[in-house]
Structure 1
Amino acid sequence: MSATLSCDVAVIGAGTAGLAAERAARDSGATTLLIDPEFRGTLCANTGCMPSKLLLAAAKEAHRIGKAGLFGIEVGDMRVDGPAVMERVRSERDRFVRLTRESIMDLPDDIRVQARARFESENRLALSDGRFVEAKAIVIATGSKAVVPPPFAALGDLLLTNENMFELDDLPRRLAVVGSGSIGLEMAQAFARLGTEVSLFDRADRMGNLRCDKVHDALRDIIESDMTVHLGVDVEPSRDGDCVRVKWSGDDNKGEAEFDMLLAALGRPPHLDGLDIGNAGLECDDDGVPCHDRQTMRCGTSAIFMAGDVAADVPVLHEASHDGRIAGRNAAALPAPISIDRHVKFTMIFTDPPVASIGVAEDESAVSGTADFSDQGRARVEGRNEGVLTLYAAAPEGRLIGADLVAPAGDHLAHAIAWAIERRVTASEMLELPFYHPTIEEGLQSALRTICAATPLPLPQTQDTGTPAGA
């Protein structure tokens, strides 16, 4: 007779969300099981955040050196050693993965269960090793997977996704990138700045899900300085020997070109394959994702919770970790709900300069203010004076509710804005805070002043540095 394991909370998936859920449940006094077929470490360490940022770091350095002449510095001929670039990416990536795996292996042996799981009922799982798990509550934290439609899969070894592109021995000479979300934009710019001839394609007319036209126009100018961009087009890829042939068509934009490889960055939907969700009796949305409450991560009135990318809410690491903590605590506390306020929606794309979308763009009587960094003092000093930032605020008090930006130091600006939104700060209150001169942060002031001028509250007295607008 097959063995049956019992626990208070079973967690399926040992990524960022699953690890956080197991830890939160155990810290709340529950007995736990963490079920995963590989325990390979997190998506972030293996094929996501860290290896992509390693490639971006190399590209940023090459771009910085290439601009040295702007400052009167001659560096001679620069050569990018593709194999060396990729070797460092893998070497550092492997270090992050090793540290992540070591932390997982530090968990007690009786908690880790290496197997695949599928639902037999709301509280019972069947494991691929023949055993079963009965749990008072179950957390689904199985992550996401790359979309690869059949025409793209037919490219075979000429197809790249985030799962295999970091295994390249060298940089491709010509690369088609399909998809202009975070992965597509980051990797297209990285490869282009490392010397690859890149063309970027997307069916959508807008990159990075940016809401503001001015910010999107600035982003497009920046991206087009490194590569060819085709938006609003359908793409038809095919293999032609050792090359990829791409045909594209859209309004007044049709063509065909040959590439060495194609990177498919078409999104990462929830990974629910093989879970037999139907056996759990859950209500699902039109995409087959179990419906759940964001404040508790609970699926209806069931004993099942969602966490991380599989929930298809905000697929970024800090949200996955937060999901896990919420789901784990609620699973342990079942049936008593613990409702937790969520952070402001905050996504970032690590292009150079960075792109960010924060909060909401529309509200009743919303007003906005824009800052242009093309002549911002500190940005011009450093030769990175490009980009636009738009702030959104709710009238009549001018409380900040959101932002879109592509700007130098945009990752730091975005954090300051997100924190201000979470604390319900108004534009006038933010202007009362110190802005050191000369800094990139000073660029926020023009957007904040525009919002203040559009609301009935008086503009606060701010220190006048006596410098001209571009200084």
Structure 2
Amino acid sequence: MGERHVDVAIIGSGSAGLYALGKVKPAGKSFVLINGGEPGTTCARVGCMPSKAMIQVAEDFHRRGVMSRFGIEGMEHLTIDQEEAMEYVQHMRDNFVDRVLSNSTDNMSDEVFIEGYAQFVEPNLLEIDNGQKIRADKIVIATGSSPVVPEQWQQFGDRILTTDNFFEQEQLPSSVGVIGLGVIGLELGQSLVRMGVDVTGFDMANTIGGISDPDVAKVAIDILGKEIPMHLGAAVEIKEADDGKLQITSGDTQVTVDSVLLSIGRKPNLDSLNLEAAEISLDGNDMPIYNENTMQVGDSHIFLAGDVNGDRPLLHEAGHDGRVAGYNATQETPVAFKRNTLLNIAFSDPNICQVGLRYDQLDQETAVIGEIPLAPVGRAMIMAKNKGLIRVYADKESGKLLGAEMISVKGENLAHLLAWSIQQEMTVGEMLQMPFYHPVIEEALQAALYDLYSKIDKKNDTPVTELVKM
């Protein structure tokens, strides 16, 4: 096959690649979109959407345990058919994947959407494993990431579950060891418990859910540890046990399980690209060195977008990266764009959220902290979900809101309000001048902000804190 020439080649048709295409196509540039492996985004196939479907099933079933306090009797005798539950999750997953495909690659001709794995043979020349060669003026790498499975554990085959194969399970194991209690481990681990699986959690860190605030971490471990026995702060080993089971050892703890859910991180999908031929600079981990504000790799014609850059493996960040990379791939000179305020949410129950600066990023000499436990919050009490802690951070002198960490019911909503406020560079006083309805969970945030306001120097220029003078 001869070479084809295009203005822009995008490698990867996941979220970042599709968002990049959304900027390349209307610019009138010629392009190809190349994808190896399963089509459809990580979010729709193995990430955000099927996990949230399973979380909802598990939470709805779990709520039967509190119904008696409302005078609703007999709910505790309900059972769950795990096989039907997983069929429902898979049905939802397939629906989301079909929606992605029907609005994207299904509508593209073979000329522009090429299915196959690409690698560099020259800085501007790509070869697809089907024999095609594409020469492109600009190239966007958006190949995503894959779950990390240490080599010594690969011998255990399909008894090691990751997000790549977890949602294919027709029947759930009787017992599961969850190794890695970050977002994925907590979300799926708690869901498994609530659906009747015996779960034990492990993590080398002394915290869970990525929490760096020690007070929030303590509360989170106390709350979630009542559902998932947790063993933290020690290395983990796996070996064969009797009857085809796996034995997990961590410190003085030994647990025998049917399967292991491994959630210890993801690695960028770069190995097959032959980056040496791209003639770009790599760091000590063989990652392309790129500008996070332009997505440009060095001063080259190559751009990096989405999970493949190993920075913020979140769908909304992949969308941001893709838009920036796609736009700059159509320009003579790349344009720098501001990053969004950090927003990270674990959909455990309660939610665990980090917004803006985390506790371990604060200057402890200039930052102050406000907090509110969820125990006395009226709306949370009514919902029988009044467990948790919200901690908000601000600069002491200016009163500018800096960040927050929390474990809270409806934390997903509170985290968005905080992220928007931080991105608008609002002060604590300005936030308190916003309306807060009653009774809502947002009143818990209001209380935390009042606590924070009492510790900052810059106050509102009005005799009534909550009001704005005309």
Normalized against structure 1, the TM-score is what? 0.94
Whole-angstrom distance in 2 between the partners of 1:233 and 1:72? 45
In structure 1, the residue matched to 2:355 is 358
Alpha-carbon contact 2:293-2:338 (below 8 Å) kept: yes
> What is the deviation of 1:450?
2.2
Whole-angstrom distance in 2 between the partners of 1:456 and 1:166? 51
Alpha-carbon contact 1:357-1:403 (below 8 Å) kept: yes
1:269 maps to 2:251:
no
> What is the deviation of 1:138?
0.4
In structure 2, the residue matched to 1:450 is 451
Whole-angstrom distance in 2 between the partners of 1:294 and 1:75? 55
Alpha-carbon RMSD across the aligned residues, in angstroms, is 1.5
Whole-angstrom distance in 1 between the partners of 2:215 and 2:376? 16
> What is the deviation of 1:322?
0.8
1:402 maps to 2:417:
no
Question: In structure 1, the residue corresponding to 2:167 is in which secondary structure?
Answer: helix
> What is the deviation of 1:462?
5.3
Name the stretch that deviates more: 37-46 or 433-442: 37-46
Alpha-carbon contact 1:70-1:383 (below 8 Å) kept: no
Name the stretch that deviates more: 135-144 or 202-211: 202-211
Question: In structure 2, the residue corresponding to 1:269 is in which secondary structure?
Answer: strand
Whole-angstrom distance in 2 between the partners of 1:262 and 1:144? 20
1:75 maps to 2:74:
yes
How many residues matched? 458
Note the 1:173-322 alignment, pairs <5 A: 173-240=174-241, 241-249=243-251, 254-322=252-320
Name the stretch that deviates more: 409-418 or 213-222: 213-222
Note the 1:417-432 alignment, pairs <5 A: 417-432=418-433
Alpha-carbon contact 1:171-1:196 (below 8 Å) kept: yes
In structure 1, the residue matched to 2:338 is 341
Whole-angstrom distance in 2 between the partners of 1:19 and 1:445? 39
**CA separation of 1:152/1:37 partners in 2, compared to 1, >3 Å: closer, same or farther?**
same
1:102 maps to 2:105:
no
Question: In structure 1, the residue corresponding to 2:282 is in which secondary structure?
Answer: coil
Kindly provide the amino acid, as one letter, of the partner of residue 71 in structure 2: G
Whole-angstrom distance in 2 between the partners of 1:4 and 1:431? 61
> What is the deviation of 1:101?
1.7
1:44 maps to 2:46:
no
In structure 2, the residue matched to 1:58 is 57
Question: In structure 1, the residue corresponding to 2:311 is in which secondary structure?
Answer: coil
Whole-angstrom distance in 1 between the partners of 2:384 and 2:466? 26
Cα deviations by residue, 1:17-66 (Å, 9 ceiling, x for unpaired): 01111221122222111001245211111111111111101111011122
Cα deviations by residue, 1:286-310 (Å, 9 ceiling, x for unpaired): 2221011111000010000000000
> What is the deviation of 1:109?
3.6
Cα deviations by residue, 1:326-362 (Å, 9 ceiling, x for unpaired): 00100111x3121111110111111011111111131
Normalized against structure 2, the TM-score is what? 0.95
Cα deviations by residue, 1:60-91 (Å, 9 ceiling, x for unpaired): 10111221123232124021111111010111
Whole-angstrom distance in 2 between the partners of 1:174 and 1:38? 31
Whole-angstrom distance in 2 between the partners of 1:451 and 1:107? 53
Whole-angstrom distance in 2 between the partners of 1:458 and 1:423? 18
Alpha-carbon contact 1:82-1:170 (below 8 Å) kept: yes
Kindly provide the amino acid, as one letter, of the partner of residue 145 in structure 2: S
Alpha-carbon contact 1:118-1:274 (below 8 Å) kept: yes
Kindly provide the amino acid, as one letter, of the partner of residue 334 in structure 2: P
Name the stretch that deviates more: 404-413 or 98-107: 98-107
Alpha-carbon contact 1:122-1:302 (below 8 Å) kept: no
Alpha-carbon contact 1:347-1:358 (below 8 Å) kept: yes
Question: In structure 2, the residue corresponding to 1:163 is in which secondary structure?
Answer: helix
Whole-angstrom distance in 2 between the partners of 1:75 and 1:309? 46
Whole-angstrom distance in 1 between the partners of 2:180 and 2:78? 30
Whole-angstrom distance in 2 between the partners of 1:28 and 1:292? 23
Alpha-carbon contact 2:178-2:263 (below 8 Å) kept: yes
Kindly provide the amino acid, as one letter, of the partner of residue 199 in structure 1: T
Whole-angstrom distance in 1 between the partners of 2:290 and 2:466? 49
5+ long unaligned stretches in structure 2: none
> What is the deviation of 1:242?
2.1
Question: In structure 2, the residue corresponding to 1:305 is in which secondary structure?
Answer: strand
Kindly provide the amino acid, as one letter, of the partner of residue 89 in structure 2: V
Kindly provide the amino acid, as one letter, of the partner of residue 327 in structure 2: R
In structure 2, the residue matched to 1:383 is 384
In structure 2, the residue matched to 1:323 is 321
Name the stretch that deviates more: 36-45 or 49-58: 36-45
Paired-residue identity, %: 37
Whole-angstrom distance in 1 between the partners of 2:372 and 2:280? 47
Whole-angstrom distance in 2 between the partners of 1:150 and 1:289? 20
In structure 2, the residue matched to 1:435 is 436
Question: In structure 2, the residue corresponding to 1:389 is in which secondary structure?
Answer: strand
Question: In structure 2, the residue corresponding to 1:155 is in which secondary structure?
Answer: helix
In structure 1, the residue matched to 2:153 is 152
Whole-angstrom distance in 2 between the partners of 1:98 and 1:376? 41
> What is the deviation of 1:463?
6.6
Question: In structure 1, the residue corresponding to 2:254 is in which secondary structure?
Answer: strand
